Each structure stands twice: as C-alpha cells, then as structure tokens.
Structure 1
Amino acid sequence: MPLPRTPQAQRKSETRSRLIDAAAGLFARKGFHAVSAESVAEAAGRTTGALYSHFGGKEGLLLALLEVWKDRTAEELAAEIEDGIAAGADPADPAVHFGAMWGSLTRPHPDRGEAWLLLETELWLHGARSPLIGTRLAQRYAEIRAQLGEGLADWAEATGTPLARSPEETGALVLGVLLGLAMQHRLEPEAVPDALVVDALSALLARS
C-alpha cells in the first residue's frame, strides 16, 4: 500500500501538473518556439524558477509533456482495442491495432487537439540541432520502439503469428511508417487515407 504524500510532495506534484497543463495549451496554440518559459509559468500561476527547478527549462518541459501524453495515449489505445474486441473485432487482425494507433496520431483529441504531431515534429527539429535534447529524444524514441516491439511480440505469441524480424526492428519499422505517413497526412489527408495506412502497416508486419 503506497504511503500518503506529504504536503510538500503534494505541492510539488501540483506545480508539475499545472506547468504541464499550461504548456500543453500554449504550445498547441502558438507553437513551441513562440512561447517563453515566463509565459508558461504565468499561465500556470507559478514562478519561472519553479519551471526550471522541475524541468530544467522549456525543452525539458516539452519532453515531460509528450511523455505524459504518450502514457495517456497508451492507456486510451488499450481501452479502444479492448472495446473493439468486445464488440466483435478479431484480435488476430493487425488492422484492429494499427487502426487505433493511426487514429491516436491523426484524430483531433478532446484535450490535445492536433497538437501532438506538431509538437513531436518541433521537438525532433530542436533535438536534431541540440546534442543534449537529441540524446534525451533518442532515448525516448528507443523506449517507444521497445514498447511497440513488446506489444507486437505479445500479439504475435497470442495469435500464433510469428515475427520474422526481432521485436525491436519491427517496432522501429512500425514507428517510422506511422510518423512518416502522419506527416504527409497532416498536409494532404486525401493523399494518405486511413485505409492505405492500415494496409501498409499490416503488409509490413506480414513481411517483417
């Protein structure tokens, strides 16, 4: 049984949450580079010093924000897939899983709107130019690839559909297709319809 939080720990947790929520709204509306650390702190009702204390700066705050979104999205994906299977979808059909993944990147979210893909792209550009952020971003991508690979390996074992490539390689391929097609879809949705993406990912999995 977890121990109750002390008042100080509770305040730190609340400050962290307020800063992340404020950043989500500002970054989504204005873009990462157009928002200052001071404006995020002001919107959260906290000091700039608190932002630097918790996250080390605006870049660290963006990484934390995307990590929170990743965890929430994983929970939402699992629930969506379970609901689909309960409604009669075939759990062995990769389209059930890939359709949910694709939707998480491209469907406007009630809380996040279309901000995730835009912020993900901005973070990649920033990481490509900054060795410090690049290292942390590479670690984050490695964790996402591993999670995807583990999930696909579990699916393969449960459905009797062996993966020809390692889970790590399969996760890397799936992530690359998802992000690459999502970027194209964002600018020209009719050129990259949902069915094409799901078919491509299913074919990749069959050949991988």
Structure 2
Amino acid sequence: MARHAREPRRTQEQRKAETRGRLIDAAAELFATKGFHAVSAEAVADAAGRTTGALYSHFGGKEGLLLALLDVWKERTAARLAPDLAADPDPAAHAAAMWRSVTRPAADRGDSWLLLELELWLHGARDAQVGSPLARRYAEIRRELGEGLADWAAATGQALPRPPAETGALVLAVLLGCALQHRLDPSAVPERLVVEAVSGVLGARPVRDQ
C-alpha cells in the first residue's frame, strides 16, 4: 500500500495519451510487417493491450489510426530534419536531407512509411469517406512544406519561382514519384538526380556551384 501511495496518480488525459501511444506503436509494428489490409483492428488492440472499443474511441477505426500513424511519422521526420535544414543554406543539402527521410532503411520504418502511404492513398481514392480527410492531410503537408521552403528562401535571400503552396506540391511530387521508382530499383534513382530535380523546382543552384 505504501509503495502505491508514493506513485503519482495519472490524470485522465495522461491515460488517454498512453492508450493512444500504445495503439499507434502497435499499429506501426503490425502494419509495417504485415500491411494495412492484412491487419484487423482487433489484432492492433490486442497487441497494444487495449480493447477494440478504445481503438474506435480514439481513432474512429483502422483508417483513422493509419492517418494518425502517418502524421506521427511526418512530425518525427520534420523534427529530425529541422536542425539540418536550419544550419545549411544550400538547397542541395535540403533536397538530400528530404530524400533520405523518405528512403530510410526498412529497419527505421522509412520503407514502411512509403508502402503505407500508398495503401492509404489507394483506399482513399476508392472511398470518399477516407479520401476527404486524406485530401485535407495532403493539403496540410503541401502548405507546411511550402511555408518551410518560403522561410528558407527568405533567410537565404533567394526567391521561390512559384507561390509556396505550388512549390510544396511540386517538391512533394518529386520526392514521392522518385521514391516509388527507387523502391523497386534504387540504382535507377540516385540521390544526385533527386537533388537536381528539387533544386530545379526551387529555381536555385547549389551554393557550391554559385
């Protein structure tokens, strides 16, 4: 009893955050190894040590859980990239860092991220109930990417050739399109090619070439 008395009592918000985190971690592992459609909501809940009701309460279903998982990966990737991007004005360094973030080894779940992104896109293209929130998610990604690139351009005294949202859309298209090809044939899409493509979209030459 004394030992329990010394343990801090968790708030309802903390318990909810823990349940949410456990479900996301379980989904990351199962979806990465088996694929989204091969894993049931029940299997995720069991792996997380939670009920299926908790999964639906937090995420509305398996699709909502996948959206949340991909958003967590996006946020972690952005946090990982931020120090490198802030420290280097060279657009080539930025392009290379972004490319490596979407082609990380499978052990770091980079490969899984791409496959799950595609599974969700296909599901959303066929189902409007999934497609609508997915479209909003992509709009947010384009906006955040464009704003980040606009901040970089302002800080380095360069000018983007297009509005930030359009720049974000094109950079995202280059990264995802090249990642699809790289997934099947890495040698066909070297990092140099992606760096040149992104730099071209930004209308900038690498600092070392200026």
Q: Deviations over 1:10-31 (max 9, x none)?
A: 1111100000000000000000
Q: Which amino acid aligns with 2:135?
A: A
1:77 corresponding residue in structure 2: 81
In structure 1, what is the Cα distance between the partners aligned to 2:110 and 2:103?
Answer: 9
1:60 corresponding residue in structure 2: 64
In structure 1, what is the Cα distance between the partners aligned to 2:45 and 2:96?
Answer: 37
Shift of 1:155: 1.1
Confirm whether residue 99 of structure 1 aligns to residue 96 of structure 2.
Answer: yes
Q: Deviations over 1:45-88 (max 9, x none)?
A: 00111101110000000000001111111000113335xx4xxx
Q: Which amino acid aligns with 2:17?
A: S
2:141 corresponding residue in structure 1: 144
Confirm whether residue 10 of structure 1 aligns to residue 7 of structure 2.
Answer: no
In structure 2, what is the Cα distance between the partners aligned to 1:155 and 1:122?
Answer: 32
1:120 corresponding residue in structure 2: 117
2:129 corresponding residue in structure 1: 132
Confirm whether residue 172 of structure 1 aligns to residue 169 of structure 2.
Answer: yes
2:37 corresponding residue in structure 1: 33
Q: Which runs of 5+ in 1 are unaligned?
A: 86-90
In structure 2, what is the Cα distance between the partners aligned to 1:141 and 1:196?
Answer: 24
Q: Which has the larger radius of gyration?
A: 2
Equivalent residue of 2:55, what SS? helix
Identity of aligned residues (%): 70
Over 6 Å off, 4+ runs: none
CA RMSD of aligned residues (A): 1.7
Confirm whether residue 182 of structure 1 aligns to residue 179 of structure 2.
Answer: yes
2:48 corresponding residue in structure 1: 44
Q: Which moved more, 1:92-101 or 1:27-36?
A: 92-101
Q: Which moved more, 1:44-53 or 1:108-117?
A: 108-117
In structure 1, what is the Cα distance between the partners aligned to 2:126 and 2:119?
Answer: 11
In structure 1, what is the Cα distance between the partners aligned to 2:148 and 2:110?
Answer: 26
Shift of 1:177: 0.8
1:205 corresponding residue in structure 2: 202
Shift of 1:112: 2.2
Q: Assess, with a 3 A threshold, how the Cα gap between structure 1 residues 188 and 146 changes in structure 2: closer, same or farther.
A: same
Q: TM-score, normalised by structure 1?
A: 0.90
In structure 2, what is the Cα distance between the partners aligned to 1:201 and 1:113?
Answer: 20
Q: Which amino acid aligns with 1:7?
A: T
Q: Which amino acid aligns with 1:196?
A: L
Q: Which amino acid aligns with 1:65?
A: L
